[in-house]
Amino acid sequence: MSMSSEEETDISESEMEEYADTWYQKLKESYGKEKISGKVYRCPFCPGKKQQAYSFHDLVQHSWGVSTASSRKVNDKGKHLGLSRYLNNDLLRKDSIPMSDEMKTELQPTHHGNDVDEKYAFPWMGIVANLPIEWQDGRYVGKSGSGLRDELTSKGFNPQRVHPLWNYKGHSGKAVVEFENNWNGFANAIKFQKNFESQQQGKRDYLSPPDKGDKLYGWVAKADDYNSSGIIGDYLRKTVDLKSISEVEAEEKRKTNSLVSNLSNTIEAKRRSLMEIESKCNETSMSIKNVMRQRDEMVQEYNEDLQRMAKNAHDQLEKMFKEQEKSKSYFEARRKELELREKELVEREALNDNQRQELHLLKQMNEKAAMEQKKLDESVLVLAEEQKKAKETLRQKNMELQKKLDLKQALELEIERLTGAMQVTKHMGDGQEVKKKLDEIEESLKEKKEELEALEALNQTLVVKQQMASVELNDARKELIDGMKENTSRALISVKRMGELEDLRNNKLGREATLSEGITYLLQQLKASKAKKR
C-alpha cells in the first residue's frame, strides 16, 4: 500500500511546515521503501502517475517541483517537501550516491568560458545577495543565518552553514553559504547557482541596473568575488582559497596517493613487527616447554627419592621389630627353663635355702628384665610413631614446597605472558589508550616480578628447612638403630617409657633439644643404667 493512501485531512498553508516535518520523520523510519532497485527510485506519494521510475536526481527535482507548485494541494506540497528533505538530508548520505559524469556535465555553470581551470572559492562557497533588511535602533537587521540555511536545505541545496555579512551599519543584506568540502558539496553549489540563474536571479542579473525588488540573488563564489574590494571579498580572503577543478582533483589525487603510500608503509611495518612478535612468542613457547619438562623431571626425581627414603625407613623398622621378637622369644624360653628347673628342684627336694633364694632372685631379675623389655618395646613403638609424625611433617613440607614451585612456575608464565602483551601493545601505536594500557601492563609485570622474588626467597628457605629436617630425621633413625643394636642383648635392660620423659633442652645452646639430640641423650642414660646394674 502506498503512503499516499493513508486517511488524511486538508491542512492550511501555515501548517505545511509541520506537516512536512511529520512526513520527513515517517520517511526516515521507513527507509528504503522509495527504492525500486539499485539506482531506480519511485515517488511514494504518486502511485497512480504515469512515470513510476526515477533516477535519484530526477526524484529530487520532482519532489522540489511539486512542493513549490502553486497549483498543487497543500497536503501534496507538504508531503513532497518532506520527501525533498529526506532525499537530500538522509538518502544521499546513506546510499553514498556518487556524482556521475553526466551529473558533472549537468551541473556545470552556465557562464561562458567556463573550464576546469576556472578558479572557485574552496571550500565551496555560495553568495546570497539582496536579503531583506530593515532599519531598527540605528542599524540594519535581517534574517538569521540558520533561517536562510533551513530555507536552502528545504530546496535541496544542503548547505553546511550560512554566514550573514555585517559591517559598521549592521546587516549588509549579503550572506556567504558554506557547502560540504567534497564533490557532493560542489554539486549542491552548482545546483544552487543554476536554480537562481533559471529564475533570472543569478550574479549577472544582480549586477544589472534595473530595480531588484525583494528577490534574492545567488551564485557560486569565484575568483572575481574573492578578489573584490567589498565585504564579500574581505570575508572570502580570510576564510577560503582559490582553486580550479583540476587543482582540487590533483590535490585529492595527491592526498589519496599519499594515504595509500602511508598505509602501505604502515602495513609493511606492522607485518614485520608481527613477524618479530611471532618469533619471540615461539621462542618464549619453547622456553616454557623446556621449563615445564625440567619441572616434570625434578618432580619425578623428588618423588623417587621420597619413595626410596620411605622404603628404607620401613625396612629398618621391620628389622627392629624382628630383633625385638627374637629377644622376647629368648626371654620366654629362659622363663620356661627356670620354671622347669624350679619344678625339678621342688620335686627333688634337694634345694637348700641358698639355692632357693638364688633361684628366686634369678627369677625376679628375669621378670624385671622382661618388664624392661616390654617397656623398651613400647619405647620403640613411640619412637616409630614419632618417626611417622616426622615423616608426615616432612611430607607436608614437601607438598608445600611443591605448591610454591607450582606457584613460581605460574608466576614465571604470567611474567612471560605480560612481557609478550607489553611487546604487542608497544607496536599498536602511540594513542592515549595504548599508553594507558602499556602502563597498566608494566605495573602488573613489576608486581609479578616482586611476587616471584619473594616466592623464590621463601622457596629457598623451605628447601633449606626440608633438607635440615630430612638430615636430622635420618641421623636420629640411624643413631636409634645403632643404639638398639648395642642394648638389645640378652643382658638385663632398664628402659624408661618415652611418654614419661619430660621435654629435653640443650642447655649448652639454650634451646629445646632436637629429635636426634633427644635420642642420643636417652641412649646415654640407657648405657649408664646398664653399667650400674652390672
What confidence tier does 529 reach under pLDDT thresholds 50, 70, 90?
low
Residues 6+ apart with CB under 8 A from 223: 118, 119, 120, 242
Q: Are residues 74 and 210 in the same domain?
A: no
- State the chain's mean pLDDT as an integer: 78
Q: What is the mean pLDDT of residues 357-364?
A: 82
CA 438 to chain centre: 12
Q: Is the pLDDT of residue 353 over 90?
A: no
Residue 260 in domain? no
For residues 239 and 41, which has the higher predicted lDDT (pLDDT)? 239
**Can you name the residues that pair with 222 across neighbouring β-strands?**
120
Residue 330 in domain? yes
> What's the number of CA atoms in the CB half-sphere (13 Å) around residue 509?
8
Residue 364 in domain? yes
Report how many domains make up the chain.
3
What confidence tier does 36 reach under pLDDT thresholds 50, 70, 90?
low
Residues 6+ apart with CB under 8 A from 521: 504, 513
Residue 377 CA to residue 325 CA, distance in Å, equals 9
Residue 86 CA to residue 95 CA, distance in Å, equals 12
Contact present, 174 and 232 (Cβ < 8 Å): yes
pLDDT tens for 457-469 read 877 787 787 777 7
Q: Is the pLDDT of residue 224 over 80?
A: yes
Q: Is the pLDDT of residue 504 over 60?
A: no
What confidence tier does 222 reach under pLDDT thresholds 50, 70, 90?
very high
DSSP E strand stretches across 361-508: 505-506
**Can you name the residues that pair with 511 across neighbouring β-strands?**
506
User: What is the CATH classification number for the domain harbouring 230?
Assistant: 3.30.70.2890
Determine if residue 71 is left, alpha or beta; phi over 0 gives left, psi from -120 to 50 gives alpha, anything else beta. Answer: alpha
The last residue of one of the domains, among 201, 222, 239, is: 239
Contact present, 498 and 375 (Cβ < 8 Å): no
What confidence tier does 505 reach under pLDDT thresholds 50, 70, 90?
low
Q: Are residues 373 and 481 in the same domain?
A: yes
The DSSP element (H or E) to which 60 belongs, if any, is helix 56-68
**Range among 99-113, 168-182, 509-523 rated most confident:** 168-182
Residue 269 CA to residue 275 CA, distance in Å, equals 10
pLDDT of residue 116: 52
User: What is the CATH classification number for the domain harbouring 309?
Assistant: 1.20.1270
- Which among 358, 369, 361 is positioned nearest to 334, based on CA atoms? 369
Q: Are residues 118 and 93 in the same domain?
A: no
Residue 79 CA to residue 89 CA, distance in Å, equals 15
What confidence tier does 358 reach under pLDDT thresholds 50, 70, 90?
confident
Least confident of 178-182, 428-432, 466-470: 428-432
For residues 435 and 512, which has the higher predicted lDDT (pLDDT)? 435
Q: Are residues 138 and 229 in the same domain?
A: yes
Q: Are residues 153 and 33 in the same domain?
A: no
Residue 224 in domain? yes
pLDDT of residue 33: 63
Assigned C-alpha cell, 450: 616482586
- Which among 160, 167, 173 is positioned nearest to 132, based on CA atoms? 173
pLDDT tens for 66-101 read 877 777 888 888 888 888 888 877 776 665 555 444
Residue 154 CA to residue 23 CA, distance in Å, equals 13
The last residue of one of the domains, among 97, 126, 147, is: 97
DSSP E strand stretches across 104-240: 119-122, 125-129, 133-136, 139-142, 161-167, 170-178, 217-220
The last residue of one of the domains, among 32, 67, 97, is: 97
Residue 7 in domain? yes
Q: Are residues 344 and 458 in the same domain?
A: yes
Q: Is the pLDDT of residue 1 over 70?
A: no
What confidence tier does 209 reach under pLDDT thresholds 50, 70, 90?
low
pLDDT of residue 44: 86
Q: Are residues 404 and 480 in the same domain?
A: yes
Residue 251 in domain? no
β-strand 139-142 against 505-506: which pairing, if any? Answer: unpaired
Q: Is the pLDDT of residue 362 over 90?
A: no
Residue 345 CA to residue 356 CA, distance in Å, equals 9
Residues 6+ apart with CB under 8 A from 292: 409
Q: Is the pLDDT of residue 124 over 90?
A: yes
Give the 3-state secondary structure of residue 9: coil
Least confident of 85-94, 120-129, 214-223: 85-94
Q: Are residues 62 and 132 in the same domain?
A: no
**Range among 100-104, 129-133, 503-507 rated most confident:** 129-133
Q: How far is CA 264 from CA 153, 180, 259, 260, in A?
A: 40, 29, 8, 6
What confidence tier does 194 reach under pLDDT thresholds 50, 70, 90?
very high
Read off the DSSP letter of residue 156.
Answer: T
Contact present, 224 and 189 (Cβ < 8 Å): no
- Which among 45, 38, 36 is positioned nearest to 63, based on CA atoms? 45
Q: Are residues 317 and 407 in the same domain?
A: yes
Q: Is the pLDDT of residue 496 over 50?
A: no
Give the burial class of 426: count Cβ atoms within 10 A of its Cβ; 0-12 exposed, 13-18 middle, 19 or more buried: middle
Single-letter code of the amino acid located at 34: E
Residue 244 CA to residue 271 CA, distance in Å, equals 40
Q: Are residues 222 and 325 in the same domain?
A: no
Q: Are residues 153 and 66 in the same domain?
A: no
pLDDT of residue 512: 65
Least confident of 11-15, 19-23, 157-161, 309-313: 11-15
pLDDT tens for 278-290 read 999 999 989 999 9
Residue-number span of the structural domain to which 230 is assigned: 114-239
What confidence tier does 297 reach under pLDDT thresholds 50, 70, 90?
very high
Residue 273 in domain? no
Q: Is the pLDDT of residue 389 over 90?
A: no
**Residue 251: other Cβ atoms inside 10 A:** 12
Single-letter code of the amino acid located at 282: N
Give the 3-state secondary structure of residue 100: coil
What confidence tier does 429 reach under pLDDT thresholds 50, 70, 90?
low
Residue 234 in domain? yes
Q: What is the mean pLDDT of residues 196-213?
A: 82
Q: Are residues 13 and 159 in the same domain?
A: no
